Structures are given as structure tokens and as C-alpha cells.
Structure 1
Amino acid sequence: MRRGSGGASVAGAGAEMGASGSSGDTPHPAFAADVAPDPAEPTPGRRSTPAPNLPLAWAELLRLPALFTVPGDALAGAAATSVPHNSRTLLAIGSSLFLYEAGMALNDWADREEDAAERPHRPLPSGRIRPAAALTAACALTATGLALAARAGRPALSVAVPLAATVWAYDLHLKHTPAGPAAMATARALDLLLGAAATAGRIREALPSAALLGTHTLTVTTISRHETQGGSSRAPLAALAATAALSTLITRGGNRGRGPGGASEAGGTADGRGVSDVRVIPTVRGARSGSAAMSASHVPGTSHVQGTPDVPGTSGVRGASDTQGARTAALAPTPARPRSQPALLASALRPSHSPLRQALATAYAATTARAYFHAALNPSPPLTQRAVGAGIRATIPLQAALAARSGGTATALVVAALAPLGRRFARKVSIT
């Protein structure tokens, strides 16, 4: 269903009325002034002007199907911190939703003159929603989003304030400047960091995921700058290359989550210091058992192990103290050796063995590849708009893949389930 089909514009209604009519029921023009139609009954041969469908008009203004791309930001940010979701995570999701819709309303208010020439079917140019109502809605939605972030805590509010400022700066000025795509990418990255700040009170672990999501948003926004006029093949081609690079980075390296008992899947304990192996400390034949036990007790990361008391008359027994000391030392793990920078880089680029992460990365690339390729071959406005819509829809599998990359399997599945819902509602209201 095309945008604007829910309510006819004034010009469309007038044209529709002028084209209809029946010659048998219409009075002669000479008697038109003498024949007054009954207001209670419709005039034969005429159609009454349909009332604007306000709910549909607001759904078009706020682009409601795009809302399904918002919760995954906060959920992916929370998953990156390895902290279980809590009530503050829900507050972060609510804050993101309100700030996102504030940007949608403000976007149409700022572009009302441009849309009157290029997209007159939009709610504001068609007269179905007054510009003052859209601006009031943008202000109210922004205030509500900031209030929810404040309820989530000071760290969340410290991220929500620059997020709201970025949204307003983009819609009012930066959109039409070369800094526009970077500003929109910053807004998406901050939206992901909002979930991390609200859930765990910190954002450090979520910075890599925010960078990947921001890169995707940068490419989509660059394409959208040509969606009404077309004429650029470079942006879709660059988006294809960026999608391939992001898919590769998602499936390689990253946090692997925590396994049973607080240990991560990559090995190590919950405090991050880890255990590399268990080493048996060799002893010299005839050594005292106390010296062997003392060697075990001084291994970093282990508790103190008391040695066998030096009982007179037993030190000369060959093999007795050696066996007991070796067994005690065998139970003492040694700390992991510091890894060099090349080793860390190789680990980060090592392919993942997680089928879920690979499947989500493939779904992300498949959602955009065809539309980007068609827009690159023929950068017409319809194909460019289709590429923008595909890029927006691909945000959901990307968020799910980022959550899986951080070890949040359940979160990834929840986010991925939003994709079919978004496609279903996008058939009724355009996502762009």
C-alpha cells in the first residue's frame, strides 16, 4: 500500500467530485439556483469528501513500522556488557522509542516545504496533519524520552541528552550538509550505548558494537540523500562493500559470552585473569615435603596450601615426600601468560563457530544485497527508495548478530523475531 492512500488530499477530493455525476439526476443549470439540496440527504451524483484518517496519517508521519528497528539497539548494547537485563533496560528501550519518534515528527516538520514539491502525499503537505501539531509532538516525545532515561539512572541520561541533541541538530540543520550521514550514524551508535549505560552503568564493552551499527547507518543515510532524485551509483556500491565488511567482522572475534560457572567460552575465570593450564612442579628426589608444598602455595591465583609438617625421621624416606609434594603442586593452576598484540589480533579475526551468529550475519547481508545491487545498476528514485528501505530493515538482523557476537543468544533470538513483524506492518505504512 502506497503512502497517503488512507486519506485523500483536498485537490484529489475535488477532482474526484468533478469527474462524477449522472445526467439524469442533475438539475438544469438554469434551475440550479432555485433547487436547494436538503442538507440531510446526499445530493445524487455527488460523493461526500472523506474525512481524513488521522490514525493512519500519524502512523505515516511517525513511520511506525520503523519502530521495530529501535529495541534492538538497547538490547544489543545491554548484551555487550554481559549484565543481565533489568528494569533499567526496559526504560532504555522506552527512551529510545520516544526519541526515535521525536526525530520522525521533527523530520517532516523541517522538510514540509521540500515535501510539498517532491512528496505532496505526505501527511503535512497534504494537510492531514498541521505543522504545529507535528512540532508539538516532537517536543513532547523528546521530553518523554529524556524523562525515561533519567529514571534509568545518571549514566543513561548522560547518553540520552547528546542523543536527543544529535537528533534535533540533524533534522534542523545537519541533514542538508556533508555531516548529515555522520550525524545520523552517531545517533544510532548513541542509541546502542544508551542500552549499555542503563543496564550496566558503563559503555566501554559496547563501543565495538556501536561502531559497527554506526557504520551501517552511515551507508544507509548516504543512499537516502538521493532517494527523491536518484542519480548516484557510488552510494549503493559503497554500501555493498560496507555490508560485506561488516558481515565478516561480525562472524570473527568478539566476546564469546560467559559459560557455566562464570567462565567465558574463550577460557578463563569471571574476573578475567584466566587459567591457561595446570602445571606439575617437578621436585628433586629427596627434597623435603615442606619445600614442595611451599612451591605450590606461592603460585599466583591460588590459595595458600599448607605443607606437610617436617616430622623428624621421615625426611630420609625416599619418594614419600616427593609424591605428596608433586600431588599438591599438580592442583595449583598457573596464571595465563600475557598475549602479544599479533596474537590478540589473530584471535579477533578468527572465524566464529557459532551457527547463530553466522546465520544472522548472512541474513543481514541478504536483506540488503539485492536492493543495493539494483540501485547501483539503475539509481532511479524508486530503486533508491527500495534500497533505503532494505537498509532500514537490515538493521534488525544486524542488531541480532551483534547481540549473538556478545554472547547474548536469547537476546539475539528476541531481536531477530522483530524482523517479520516489521515487514508485516511495512505493507500498510511505508517505512521511509
Structure 2
Amino acid sequence: MSRTNDYLELLRAPAVLTVIGDTLAGGAAANRSPFGRRIALPLASACLYAAGMALNDYADRDIDAVERPERPIPSGRVAPGAALVTAAGLTAAGLGLSAFGGGRSAVALGLPLAASIWAYDLVAKRNPVTGALSMGLCRALDVLMGAGSDRVRTALPAAAIMGGHTVAVTALSRGEVSGTSVAVASGATATTVVVSAGVLAGAALAGAQKLGRTSSESSILIRHLAATTAAIAVYASRCGSAQWRAIHEPSAGNALDATKAGIRSMIPLQAALALSHGSPVAGAIIGSLDVVGKVLRSGSRVKRISES
């Protein structure tokens, strides 16, 4: 059991929940059903994300030995070679699941996504600018994988929104050890505002194009717009408040809190995107992941308290 927990820590298991909604949001934008074999696509995203986490710790093992010695590799709980093999195996599993769930059109996005993940961990992240942009590209490609190569155009706005948010979160994460800057924290906050406005504008535009139909359809449309607005409110309040604190005090602790909030707020953002494209089912599935994440974090806190 201890061995299993070590690998779950290596793969950032609870954080994997924040990537599952990418393909659901992309599929909603492309008007694809989230059921049938396509349920394998969120699993593909989870495998590729976990592969990136294992590869990240493998690449950072020397830095982590100084800055984060408690992590699985520097603490000796997971061997570097085992982490690398795990990353390779999960990458292969992710590509296999993308092929099963979406066929060639999904693999056409899954392959560059996997390549981008490896490029980020091994090369791009060494530079703050290329690192943030590369991570944003990974998230955007994950959304597009849910749409498929034949419907990329319809999902580009959703991919750009998720990618932009990820760039801001990645830039903030650079300050988790030594602190961030007012400029970076302000940029992240501005991104949150722009992203929120973009999702609401897209939902309003889609709604305007459907006005004038039957009263029942108009009622459904109003409910979708209300649900989208509620999801965006959760997103903006969750990450915006932490980013605001980082502006006023750009300490390492506030940068870490803002990074965590930014990662967790990806779930309501994905839900808002799915809802804005008229997919309440996908939105509800994504929303349930938020509840699961809170339960897991609560259980983890209880475990730490009981062990102390």
C-alpha cells in the first residue's frame, strides 16, 4: 500500500481530475456525444497528464533534491528509472485510449500532445516564457483532442481559453519556491478576467443565434446561460481571489496558493465551456469531478491530521 501511495504522489493523483474535462469541453464545442467509446478520451487525457507528472519529477530530480526533498524520487521512495518507465508506459496508454475513443481524428491531436508534454518536461520548461507557452499548448491540444482533427475549427475558442488560463497558472507556479512578482500575479488576474468575459460572450453569442425559436427551446437556452454564468462565477472567484492576494503580497506561499487555486479552477472553467456549447450532460459530468476532488482533498487532510 505504501508503494502504491508513493506512485500516486508521483503522478499527482488528485490533480489528474482537473484534466478529464478538457476532452469533454472540446467534444461539446464540436457537438460530439460524451458517451460510447468516446468515454475513453478523458481517460486518455488522464494518462497523458499523469505521464507528464512522472516525467516532470524525473527531469527535476536534482533540483527537487534541494528544493523539494520530500518528493518521491529525491526521498528514495521511487527510483528515477522507474519514474521514466512509468511516464513512457502512461504515454503509450494515453495514445492507445485516444485511438480507441476517437479514432484517427483523436490520435492526430494526441500525438502532438504527447510530444509537447515530453518537450515541455525535458526542454521547454527551463525557460519561463517557453515553459508557460508550451504548457498552454499542451492544454489546448488536449481540448482539441476531444473535438478531433475534423472539427478543430469549432473547438479552437475553447482550446484558446483553456490554453490561456494554463499559461497564466504556469507563470505563477514559477514563484512557488522564491516568490512571484506583482507583474506576473497581475497578468494572471487579468487573464482570469479576459477568460471569464470570453466564455460569457461566447455563450451569449451562441444564445443570440438561437433566439426566435419555440418557447420551450428559449427556456432551455436561458437555463444553459444561467448555468454557464454560475460556473464562470465559481471559476473567477476561486482563482481570482488567490491571484489578488498574490498581487498585494507576491510571496512564495501566496504564489503556491494561487497556483493550486488556478489548477482546481480548471474544472468549473471546463464545465462553463461545455455548458456554453449547450451540453448540460458534459457540464454535469465535469462538475461532479469538482465534488470528487473536494472529497479527496478532505480525506487527505484528515489522514495528515491523524498521522500527526
TM-score using structure 2 length: 0.88
Partner of 1:419: 290
> How many Å apart are 1:85 and its aligned residue?
2.7
Which amino acid letter does the alignment assign opposite residue 406 of structure 1? H
> How many Å apart are 1:219 and its aligned residue?
0.3
Count of residues in correspondence between the two structures: 290
Partner of 1:401: 272
Which of these residues, 126, 129, 135, is aligned with residue 176 of structure 1? 126
Which of these residues, 220, 226, 232, is aligned with residue 361 of structure 1? 232
User: Is the counterpart of residue 71 in structure 1 residue 20 in structure 2?
Assistant: yes
Which of these residues, 161, 164, 170, is aligned with residue 114 of structure 2? 164
- 1:92-128 per-residue CA deviation (whole Å, 9 max, x = no partner) reads 1121111111000000000000000001001111111
Which amino acid letter does the alignment assign opposite residue 202 of structure 1? R
Q: Which residues in structure 2 correspond to 1:314-393 (within 5 Å)? A: 354-393=225-264
Which amino acid letter does the alignment assign opposite residue 402 of structure 1? L
> How many Å apart are 1:256 and its aligned residue?
3.6
- 1:214-258 per-residue CA deviation (whole Å, 9 max, x = no partner) reads 11001000101111111412111111111111111211234647x
Bigger Cα Rg: 1
User: Is the counterpart of residue 57 in structure 1 residue 2 in structure 2?
Assistant: no
Which of these residues, 62, 66, 71, is aligned with residue 122 of structure 1? 71
User: Is the counterpart of residue 90 in structure 1 residue 23 in structure 2?
Assistant: no
Secondary structure at 1:251 match in 2 = helix
User: Is the counterpart of residue 154 in structure 1 residue 104 in structure 2?
Assistant: yes
Q: Which residues in structure 2 correspond to 1:290-305 (within 5 Å)? A: none
Which amino acid letter does the alignment assign opposite residue 391 of structure 1? G
Which amino acid letter does the alignment assign opposite residue 163 of structure 1? L
Which of these residues, 138, 157, 177, is aligned with residue 87 of structure 2? 138
Which amino acid letter does the alignment assign opposite residue 268 of structure 2? P
Q: Which moved more, 1:77-86 or 1:239-248?
A: 77-86
TM-score using structure 1 length: 0.64
Does the CA-based 8 Å contact 1:403-1:409 persist in structure 2?
Answer: yes
Structure-2 change in CA distance of 1:428 and 1:236 (3 Å): farther
Does the CA-based 8 Å contact 1:75-1:89 persist in structure 2?
Answer: no
Q: How far apart, in 1, do the equivalents of 2:139 and 2:202 lie? A: 23
Of all paired residues, the percent bearing the same amino acid is: 42
Does the CA-based 8 Å contact 2:172-2:180 persist in structure 1?
Answer: no
Which amino acid letter does the alignment assign opposite residue 115 of structure 2? A
User: Is the counterpart of residue 195 in structure 1 residue 142 in structure 2?
Assistant: no
Q: Which residues in structure 2 correspond to 1:230-309 (within 5 Å)? A: 230-254=179-203, 256=206, 265-266=210-211
User: Is the counterpart of residue 214 in structure 1 residue 163 in structure 2?
Assistant: yes
Structure 2, gaps ≥5 residues long: 214-221, 302-308
- 1:277-302 per-residue CA deviation (whole Å, 9 max, x = no partner) reads xxxxxxxxxxxxxxxxxxxxxxxxxx
Identify, as 1 or 2, the structure richer in helix.
2
Secondary structure at 1:70 match in 2 = helix
Secondary structure at 2:75 match in 1 = coil
Which amino acid letter does the alignment assign opposite residue 180 of structure 1? G
> How many Å apart are 1:353 and its aligned residue?
7.9
Which amino acid letter does the alignment assign opposite residue 228 of structure 1? V
Q: How far apart, in 2, do the equivalents of 1:62 and 1:376 lie? A: 30
Q: How far apart, in 1, do the equivalents of 2:280 and 2:223 lie? A: 14
> How many Å apart are 1:420 and its aligned residue?
2.2
Q: How far apart, in 1, do the equivalents of 2:2 and 2:33 lie? A: 42
Does the CA-based 8 Å contact 1:251-1:352 persist in structure 2?
Answer: no
- 1:9-52 per-residue CA deviation (whole Å, 9 max, x = no partner) reads xxxxxxxxxxxxxxxxxxxxxxxxxxxxxxxxxxxxxxxxxxx9
Structure-2 change in CA distance of 1:142 and 1:358 (3 Å): same
Q: How far apart, in 2, do the equivalents of 1:256 and 1:242 lie? A: 22
Which amino acid letter does the alignment assign opposite residue 362 of structure 1? A
Q: How far apart, in 1, do the equivalents of 2:212 and 2:67 lie? A: 57
Does the CA-based 8 Å contact 1:59-1:429 persist in structure 2?
Answer: no
Does the CA-based 8 Å contact 1:363-1:397 persist in structure 2?
Answer: yes
Secondary structure at 2:148 match in 1 = helix
